[in-house]
Structure 1
Amino acid sequence: MDKTTERLVDYAMEARHEALSAETRHECKRRLVDTYACAMGAYDDSVCRIAREIAEQYSGKSGASVWGSGIKTVPEMAAFANGVMVRFMDISDTYQGKGRGHPSDVISGILAIGEAVHADGPSVINAITVAYDVYCSFEDAIDINSKGWDHAVYGVVAGALGAGKVLGLSCEQMAHAVALAVAPNMALIVSRHGDLSNWKGCAGANASRNSVFAAMLAHRGLTGPGAAFEGKGGLWEALGGGFAWPLPDPNAPRMITRTHLKSLPICYHGQSAVLAAFELRRRVPIDDIGEIEVDTYGVAIQMMAGDPNRWAPTTHETADHSLPYVVSRALLDGKIESASFTHERLTDPTVLKMMRKVKVRESRALSERYPQGAPARLTVRLNSGEELVHEIEHPLGHAGNPMNDAQLEEKFRRMFGAVGRSDRCEQALRVLWNFDKAADVSLDVFEPLAAVHR
């Protein structure tokens, strides 16, 4: 194995649940609560139904649950179907380094393999924290988006190490799992440009599926390239050269504690602007708005206003990544939810008129405060000439302005309400908060969760 693979494998192999701080363990359980909430909120969408229908066609001796459905399928297809549900509404967690991505993409795969092999809760929590460390440190090391690759690449590497940890792979097997994740799975950034398709919410789930498959292959003895990172034709060559990739200090708070939750089902880079719009809406007469100015950081503009499609979105996937649309919708409705992105809402003449009043500008000062913050300043200018301004540095859920447990549970109840009764929601919450006490996650977590939906 090459040096990079060796460092990753050593890091994963040495990680122990007993070494995790109480904060890290609790934050991992919070990500489990949040991830399941995201999946339930998207359950009835047509894209999620497609993923479940495909998963239902597969079965195996070691099965894993498709959440909320009663379906048991092979682990890699459970990883995909559940991962699609997690990502579809764009309300799952995020991490912002040199790169950008959604580290909870790894969770559906690690949970699927954990259920299939009857792992205990602490082992799964340990594997998730390892995968988050790898994912987030990879983001801190390099912006692969600028090289033409999608953030799913972060996920497939991290997920393979997490899945391999649950499977109990040897050092040699873990190295092959990483190679089998990297070599076949370089996802293109085209998924994030132009008119965004259904695949936008599926790419991370596909990485999770492929990471599980890579670990399963390595477990059976299948080998991958020996120098997947540093060899000729390896990942470093694909990215234009090698780079420093320091891994976290295992004795410090783990990187999962520095990831951000979302309160709104939109691209992370629009959260502050929309929350500012909610605040100003209480203070302005909507019919008197003359101009709307959004000042924010460069990455937010690149992601949410830098493409003509963001100014005339025609799909849910494009609209939830459109600053003009989500700010206009927030001012008009005082809320953003899944129903904000139907065809009827996208073509509503009222919102199209409001969008024509929006201007988006990069502020150098705000760009300098990213990624430590996610700042946006909203200025609403009335027809009378009066200006109202509101600025937000850390949106709710940011590590600098975290949701408390009560707020996270409120999000869970809101998302779960799409598929279940309120009393059953409380049962699901109890199961997830006690994840670390499970002697067998198949029996102690997934069977009770399946019962919640019957």
Structure 2
Amino acid sequence: MLIQQLADYAIREQTSKLPPEVIHHAKRAVIDWYAALLPGSIVSPAVLMEEAFAEDLDRGRARLATGRRATLRAAAMINGAASHSVEFDDIYRDAGYHPGSPVISAALAAAQASGASGEKFLRGVIVGYEISTRLGEAIMPSHYKYWHTTGTVGSFGAAAAAATILGANREQFMHALATVGSFASGLQQAFRSQAMTKPLHGGHAADAGCWAAMAAMKGVTGALDMIEGEVGFGNAMSVNPDWSKATKGLGRDYHIVHVTFKNHGCCGHTFPSIDGVLHLQKEHKFTHRDVKHIRLATYKAGLDIINNANPEGEYQAKFSIQYTVAHALVHGSVRLNAFLPERLNDADVRATIKKIEPVADPELSKGYPGQRAAQVEIELNDGRKFAHFQPYRKGDPELPLTDEELNDKFAELAAPVLGNAAAAALLQQLWNTEKLANVDYDTGASAKRAAG
């Protein structure tokens, strides 16, 4: 039974000698998660969730990004939503999945609530990533037709992380996964409007994983064939899942070292086109005013989500290949400021959008989800034509962010929330996580809020 194999791996990992590279990449994942969490914590839906769940705040041992105390489940849920709000969170490419939002949100809440050490916290993160990314691979690509993997397989990752940190035995771990399978959810219709629902998928997954683990620790049981059973998770949410992928390389080939860290603040499906256009602009020294036509050939599964030539509001703009590429061409990047009202209404950006033609390429579509590529062709007003094939995205394992680049990303996103000194101090703590007696990180946010 698949759950038994996953539990056997998780129990071994509680005491295994982890390779230094794996520990390093787990810390990178946590740093990247905090970089996405902090700006997401001061906007909706996170601020509204603090109001909605106020009775679960200002008590408990877990903490929100702001330093505010919370119960384990409330912290997991609110931080899960916050870390998926500004579209800067990590990606496991082969599963089309953002693991950090559900897994690290659950792991940190469980670790803070239980007083776990930094090392134990990282072990929980690793187990959550390794199990959920594999489940995601097993059900892709058919799962992605309707379902949001961050909400679905993220629930399993959150349960695995929380159960590991709370000290579950083999039976308890199996029942945590078995129970959470019934609550794995998240529909892609949420992507197609200005609604706040999509980031809530990450929060719900983190919460569902935590309560499934907590309940299993007290003896609550689940159907142990929930994942691969006849009417279980896989058959209900995918076509012909390949369960061999769910255990391949467990404990040997660590997926956490192959995670993509975002270099743009928008949907990852837009990235190869953005990178390709910026490459041609840098190489040939033209401006948006010189452009007559841009053809973006990319993979259909992504284009189905991001083909929106008239986005209404910041959320739709983050999921518009036309808007994000036009903004990159006009302003040189797609960061948080790309979605301010003045940028959304920028006349140059809106004029450039009309010059962009996205198309689904059959060959590039075949490479999904393992490759996210784009063929970019630009024609200038003077008749010159340029083309570039972008095989990967900056931030993918083949073109990774260096530690220095990750530090820069963290500083850019964290400092406006915490202040420069507090952000730098937090970053130092995060790089030393495995040495910490606990993970009650000092963000300095409470002091800043009081001073403000």
TM over 0.5: yes
Counterpart position of 1:165: 164
Counterpart position of 2:295: 293
Secondary structure of the residue aligned to 1:57 is helix
In structure 1, which of residues 35, 42, 64 is the aligned counterpart of residue 40 of structure 2? 42
The alpha carbon displacement at 1:370 in A equals 4.3
**Deviation readout 1:111-132 (Å, 9 max, x if unpaired):** 1001000011111111111111
Over 3 Å counting, the alpha-carbon distance change for 1:231 and 1:293 in structure 2 is closer
**Deviation readout 1:362-419 (Å, 9 max, x if unpaired):** 3344345544442223222112211133332222211111111111000011001221
- Of the structure 1 ranges 107-116 and 353-362, higher mean CA displacement relative to structure 2 is found in 353-362
Counterpart position of 1:383: 381
Over 3 Å counting, the alpha-carbon distance change for 1:230 and 1:294 in structure 2 is closer
Paired AA for residue 210 in structure 1? A
Counterpart position of 1:112: 109
Partner Cα distance (1:147, 1:330) in 2: 28
Counterpart position of 2:177: 178
TM-score (norm 1): 0.90
- Of the structure 1 ranges 359-368 and 266-275, higher mean CA displacement relative to structure 2 is found in 359-368
- Of the structure 1 ranges 137-146 and 113-122, higher mean CA displacement relative to structure 2 is found in 137-146
Counterpart position of 2:120: 123
Secondary structure of the residue aligned to 1:314 is coil
Is 1:218 equivalent to 2:216 in the alignment? yes
The alpha carbon displacement at 1:220 in A equals 2.0
Contact 2:9-2:251 within 8 A present in 1 as well: no
Counterparts of 1:366-381 in structure 2, within 5 Å, are 366-381=364-379
Paired AA for residue 101 in structure 1? Y
Contact 1:265-1:338 within 8 A present in 2 as well: yes
In structure 1, which of residues 98, 101, 111 is the aligned counterpart of residue 97 of structure 2? 101
TM-score (norm 2): 0.91
The alpha carbon displacement at 1:87 in A equals 0.9
Which sections of structure 2, spanning at least 5 residues, go unmatched? Answer: none
Partner Cα distance (1:438, 1:36) in 2: 17
Secondary structure of the residue aligned to 2:383 is coil
Counterparts of 1:143-162 in structure 2, within 5 Å, are 143=140, 145-146=143-144, 148-151=146-149, 152-162=151-161
Partner Cα distance (1:218, 1:189) in 2: 30
Contact 1:280-1:389 within 8 A present in 2 as well: yes
Which sections of structure 1, spanning at least 5 residues, go unmatched? Answer: none
Paired AA for residue 112 in structure 1? A
Secondary structure of the residue aligned to 2:148 is coil
Paired AA for residue 158 in structure 2? G
Over 3 Å counting, the alpha-carbon distance change for 1:231 and 1:397 in structure 2 is closer
Counterpart position of 1:72: 69
Over 3 Å counting, the alpha-carbon distance change for 1:447 and 1:260 in structure 2 is closer
Partner Cα distance (1:289, 1:404) in 2: 32
Partner Cα distance (2:281, 2:306) in 1: 21
Q: CA RMSD in A?
A: 2.3
The alpha carbon displacement at 1:449 in A equals 7.6
Partner Cα distance (1:249, 1:272) in 2: 29
Over 3 Å counting, the alpha-carbon distance change for 1:80 and 1:365 in structure 2 is same
Over 3 Å counting, the alpha-carbon distance change for 1:154 and 1:281 in structure 2 is same
Partner Cα distance (1:173, 1:270) in 2: 41
The number of residues matched between the two structures is: 443
Secondary structure of the residue aligned to 2:183 is coil
Counterpart position of 1:314: 312
The alpha carbon displacement at 1:176 in A equals 1.9
Partner Cα distance (2:251, 2:196) in 1: 40
Secondary structure of the residue aligned to 1:417 is helix
Partner Cα distance (2:25, 2:84) in 1: 19
Over 3 Å counting, the alpha-carbon distance change for 1:74 and 1:24 in structure 2 is same
Counterpart position of 1:138: 135
Over 3 Å counting, the alpha-carbon distance change for 1:257 and 1:197 in structure 2 is same
Partner Cα distance (1:284, 1:377) in 2: 18
**Deviation readout 1:325-366 (Å, 9 max, x if unpaired):** 111111111121223223443344433322111111233443
Contact 1:248-1:254 within 8 A present in 2 as well: no
Contact 1:314-1:343 within 8 A present in 2 as well: no
Secondary structure of the residue aligned to 1:265 is coil
Counterpart position of 1:323: 321
The alpha carbon displacement at 1:431 in A equals 0.7
Secondary structure of the residue aligned to 2:56 is coil
Is 1:82 equivalent to 2:103 in the alignment? no
The alpha carbon displacement at 1:165 in A equals 0.8
Counterparts of 1:182-261 in structure 2, within 5 Å, are 182-192=181-191, 194-231=192-229, 233-239=231-237, 243-246=242-245, 247-261=247-261
Counterpart position of 1:267: 267
**Deviation readout 1:178-214 (Å, 9 max, x if unpaired):** 122111333333223x325211122112111111111
Partner Cα distance (1:315, 1:15) in 2: 44
Contact 1:17-1:122 within 8 A present in 2 as well: no
Paired AA for residue 393 in structure 2? P
Partner Cα distance (2:231, 2:249) in 1: 30
The alpha carbon displacement at 1:248 in A equals 3.8
Contact 1:159-1:212 within 8 A present in 2 as well: yes
Partner Cα distance (2:315, 2:203) in 1: 16
Partner Cα distance (1:89, 1:289) in 2: 30
Partner Cα distance (1:157, 1:319) in 2: 30
